[in-house]
Amino acid sequence: MDQYRTGRVENAGGVAIHRAVVEGAAQGGVALPAGADVAGFAGITQEAQVLGRPVSLKRRGVTAAVAAAGVARGDYVNIADALGRMKSCNADVIAAPGPALVVHVVGKALSAATNLGDVFEMEINEFVVNRAAS
């Protein structure tokens, strides 16, 4: 899989830089996610862009991302909200057996973020944790 790709922005308000986007409704389209921990990760935006224009995306490797809350260096991260910000999902990934759980991990934080809106460095390494109920 290529490290970079482009996608045509489907959101009326466009997309901001360093945000997670998912596959859009149209072929080659990308959109902000509908909410937290969703499937269909398309990449992290490498620029801001408006509706209908192509946006550069990072699919693999190291990139900057915007935090929705504090993230510790080394935490697994996933999509936090409909603005494409990221949150720690470490507790869910390494949790003890419990109720059924599906986590769509996007990558791992290489630096920390303290507050909402902080930009941090992450390595994209997408995988799904599917824990059966115990």
pLDDT digits (tens, 9 = 90+) for 25-77: 999 999 999 999 999 999 999 999 999 999 999 999 999 999 999 999 999 99
Express as a percent the part of the chain with pLDDT over 90. 87
For the whole model, what pTM was predicted? 0.94
Q: What angle do CA 61, 118, 89 make, to 5 degrees?
A: 60
Q: Which residue has the tokens 């390595």?
A: 123
CA-to-CA distance for 78 and 104, rounded, in angstroms? 6
